[in-house]
A and B are shown apart, each in its own frame.
Chain A
Amino acid sequence: MRSTPDVTAPDLSAGLTLLHSPGPRSGAFYRLVGDALADARGRVEWVDARNAASTYALRAVAPSRALDGVRVARAFTAYQHHELVRRVVRRVSPRTDLVVAPNVASLYTDDDVPGHEADRLLSSTLATLAELAAARSLPVLVTAGASGDDATATVAAHADAEIECAGTPLGVAFEADGYRPRGYWREGYWQTTLPYWVDLLGVAPGSVGRPRPEPDLEPRPERDPGSRAATEG
């Protein structure tokens, strides 16, 4: 039996995934990214905005081996951001496992870009990322990072998948289609949920397909060797 849960955030599949994170440098984002980096075997291209690529935060969530393949470039204006995204297209190779672009819409809402130009640049940036993800079958993870709903909606319109996350009293909870949280990440420890124990130990007969479970402070997992074998298979 595994002693600690090793998966709590949803796996990223190919395509443009928008994580609705509560802030520009939220714990949920780093949690998700940390897991994705740990899984990545090849290169990770990171187009940064608003200083999300803080080396301090990254080292806290990912082992240093997982950071070896990460390459970061930071944009400080929308124009630079757009230019970096175009460069990423040229940098991506078969060895690339993941592209990360936190706060992808954020710089486009700054005062120094005229609104009309900002809208066109942002749409072009997002279309480029979505096409890159599709053409290379590559996961591309973004957060919107914009204060306005309009910019977030523009990002969502280009996204293939969305992950909601919310701070709960038990930690950060992720929600996505086809994903049920198995744990809540908290400062320094794991708060498990029923699906985690179900995954680990099996499902009680009759419990499959019930709605999204509430987190359980004191899990009392059912032990059913038969379905355990089935879920691990």
Chain B
Amino acid sequence: MGFKIEFEGGTARVWRATDDGATAETRDYDPSLYVGGHVAALRDLRTALRDDPKVAGTGFERWHHRLRSRDPVETLRIDLERVGEVRTLAREILGLHGDSHPPGTFRLFNVDFSPGFRYCVETRTDPTPARPLSTLRIDLGLADRSDGDVSALALDGDPAAPGTDAERAALRALAERLHADDPDVLVLSSGRLVPLLFERADTLGLDGFRLGRRPGWTKLAGANTVESYGRIGHSPARYDVPGRVIVDRSNSFLWDVAGLPGLVDLVERSRKPLQEAGWASIGNVLTAVQIREALARDVLVPREKRHPEGFKDIDTLQAADRGGFTFDPDVGLHEDVVEVDFASLYPSIMCEYNVSPDTVCCDCHADRADVPGLGYSVCDRRGFLADVLEPIVADRAAFKRRRLKWILVSCFGYQGYRNSKFGRIECHEAINAFAREILLDARDTLEAGGWRVLHGIVDSLWVTPRESDPTPIPDLTDRVTADAGIRLEHEADFEWICFVPTGDGRDGALTEYFGKVDGRDAFKLRGIEARQRSTPAFVADVQRDLLRALDRHRAPEPVCDRLQRAIGRLERGNVDPADLVIRKRVSKPPAAYTCRTRTVAALERLAARGIDRYPGQDVRYVVADDECDSADRVRLPVESIDRYDAGFYADLLTRACESVVAPLGWDRDRVRRYLRDTDDVGLSAFE
């Protein structure tokens, strides 16, 4: 039970939470990596490493190198003096030592573990805290931080030193609070506060200032730009203080979705210590859970995935390449609609149908065609993914927790992801094939029960009665559940629902719809502007207002009347600029932008204030004059905003209106024509 692990030289310092604080224990620790290859080459390597000062010891052990392997293989274990040198040695083995052998001779295992996680899995230490952890939130605004001024420091949301603007007072208040409350976790608005606070304390001559339970701080990693699933993200530098966990809120997806109790739950499942779980992505936590399961099965974790897919004929390739099933949505407004969803469809397939990298296309049942449409076999032996996912699926059924849902969703994606340690294309294909089959069977059952399918995507179906007295939905969901072995849930009843056409108006957009929930004053929205993160609050509010107009009148004209009214407010300057803020993600460094976009204008204004934004971070701005191609095109929320471009925002409103009336057959031109031809706003605009 050590909730925080730190490394110094060849030792690990393990912090345990006690009733009255925390205590540290220092232990010797030699981390290990493993090398596979033919035994003669491994013996050469062992000899070559004898005098390497990084190496503490070596030995031969038998391990599985793949999930599907039947017999363990002789493998060279190399113990290191320091955890920070694992990757260095790995590089040397491949380069320096590997050069005298054909490429690919040495295969490395257990290389890319984060240090705390490595310690926990290698020494079987449970990083779950022994008691609830106490936290202290420390915030400083972006502008103050870039100015290096800590006087406005806030502790748990309140000014540290109210009534004064002295930095010294703020730092003293922080030090007193740390001493009095002795928090286990410091939740920082940005990790960069760590060096800043120490630097200011030093400059102002505050002796003995500390954030940790011992003096000092360290920088664990520098900032860098990372790419994940094709999306650019910014990973800020990571800092550490002794005895306390740092959570950097600017870089913790999981803190946002799960909070401290959720993070601790993930610590328990993944064996990643809290600080590492805090900055991990969902995929990273999932990988940790998989690594634990693999090691428990005596399977080592390859440094890189070498195992390729099998050779396929063109027909199989084509069948396997199809993704999840979709029915083309029936564009328009439909009344009396029911939505049914499979609960955790893809993870449930992995559990119920035993689909896993080690079971699909197994040699022992090669004559069987278990996967529909593909003819792959699925082994009877219990699969790796079922063991990984079953506890999560079972828990989610009870709690429907968001963070668990994310893990489950990622697990499917990871099967097809090129660098996933335990992914396998055939497994990904088999899951899709089962999912398609299950959705098609469900459609057949619903149609036979007197319902018409309006739309279906991946794990959800929308149906409306086809006849006057159809079989009740609960009877049909029970029947489908029994057939599929996966629960089909009655998700929602809609008084009406609209499926939105694609931009060219020819087809239905797969993931854009909105509907009025039956019996409640609530709408469910997907894909349209009010759901998009970049949409300004004013535009989102107006779009919801348009939805209410549609709900009352079920016709496009009254909706456009409301639009007309909102545009009038804009043009009269009656909208608070704070409600017009647009949020955009920076996708590349400022120098890489070749067009003078609004984002570039915002970046320039930020730079003028000494604030850098990196790819993956957000910029927020209000459009002041869209015709202008200098930095004057926008204003920042921190500036006093003297004007906004009413024409630009009117255009955004018109687009938002188009989404609402497009299902009724009105496109943007039709909306504009109506606005032009209607001088008098109809009565419905004033309801």
Contacts and interface: CB of A to CB of B under 8 A. Distances in A.
Interface of A: 45, 53, 55, 58-59, 67-68, 70-77, 79-84, 87, 91, 112-114, 116-117, 120-121, 123-124
A90 to B, nearest CB: 11
Interface string B295-322: 0000000001111111111100110010
Closest 4 pairs between A and B when the two form their complex, measured CB to CB? A76-B418, A80-B308, A120-B103, A71-B311
Contacts of B95: 114, 116-117
A117 B312 contact: no
16 contacts: A45-B311, A55-B321, A71-B312, A71-B313, A72-B317, A73-B309, A73-B312, A75-B308, A79-B104, A79-B305, A80-B309, A83-B306, A87-B311, A121-B104, A123-B103, A124-B102
Nearest to A82: B104
Given A70-B314, A82-B104, A77 B418 contact: yes
A81 B306 CA distance: 8
Interface of B: 91, 94-95, 98-99, 102-104, 304-314, 317-318, 321, 418-419, 425
Contacts of A84: 308
Nearest to B420: A76
Contacts of A71: 311-313
B314 A58 contact: yes
A70 B306 CA distance: 23
Nearest to A73: B311
Given A114-B94, A117-B94, A73 B103 contact: no
A172 B318 CA distance: 28
B304 A77 contact: yes
A36 B104 CA distance: 32
Contact of B419 (A67, A112, A123): A112
Nearest to A91: B311
Contacts of B425: 74, 76
B103 A124 contact: yes
Contacts of B103: 82, 117, 120-121, 123-124
A80 B309 CA distance: 8
Nearest to A115: B95
A194 to B, nearest CB: 37
Contacts of A83: 104, 306-308
Contacts of B310: 73
A95 to B, nearest CB: 14
A55 B311 contact: no
A232 to B, nearest CB: 35
A55 B318 CA distance: 6
Given A79-B104, A80-B307, A87-B308, 8 more contacts: A55-B318, A72-B317, A76-B425, A79-B305, A79-B306, A82-B103, A120-B99, A124-B102
A33 to B, nearest CB: 13
Contacts of A45: 311
Given A55-B317, A121-B103, A77 B312 contact: no
A87 to B, nearest CB: 8
Contacts of A79: 104, 304-306
A209 B297 CA distance: 71
Contacts of A59: 314
A73 B320 CA distance: 12
B373 to A, nearest CB: 14
A164 B310 CA distance: 32
B419 A77 contact: yes
Contacts of B419: 77, 112
Nearest to A64: B314
A111 to B, nearest CB: 9
B304 A70 contact: no
Which of B91, B98, B308 is packed against the most chain A CB atoms within 10 Å? Answer: B308
A170 B124 CA distance: 68
Nearest to A69: B313
Contacts of A114: 91, 94-95
Nearest to A59: B314
A74 B307 CA distance: 11
A231 to B, nearest CB: 36
Contacts of A113: 304
B309 A74 contact: yes
Contacts of A53: 317
Contacts of A74: 308-309, 425
A209 to B, nearest CB: 43
B313 A70 contact: yes
B293 to A, nearest CB: 23
A59 B317 CA distance: 12
Contacts of A73: 308-312
Contacts of B306: 77, 79-80, 82-83
Contact of A72 (B102, B307, B314): B314
Which of A68, A91, A120 is packed against the most chain B CB atoms within 10 Å? Answer: A120
A124 B305 CA distance: 18
Nearest to B318: A55
Contacts of A120: 98-99, 103
B104 A124 contact: yes
Contacts of B94: 114, 116-117
B404 to A, nearest CB: 28
Contacts of B313: 68, 70-72
A114 to B, nearest CB: 7
A52 B95 CA distance: 31
A61 to B, nearest CB: 12
A74 B426 CA distance: 11
A142 B312 CA distance: 19
Contacts of B321: 55
B530 to A, nearest CB: 36
Contacts of B98: 117, 120
B624 to A, nearest CB: 40
B314 A55 contact: yes
Which of B94, B309, B318 is packed against the most chain A CB atoms within 10 Å? Answer: B309
A33 B304 CA distance: 32
Contacts of A68: 313-314
Which of B104, B310, B419 is packed against the most chain A CB atoms within 10 Å? Answer: B104
Contacts of B99: 120
B313 to A, nearest CB: 6
Nearest to B313: A71
Nearest to B423: A76
A72 B304 contact: no
B158 to A, nearest CB: 45
Contacts of A121: 103-104
A53 B312 CA distance: 11
B350 to A, nearest CB: 21
Contacts of A80: 305-309
A162 B420 CA distance: 36
B97 to A, nearest CB: 12
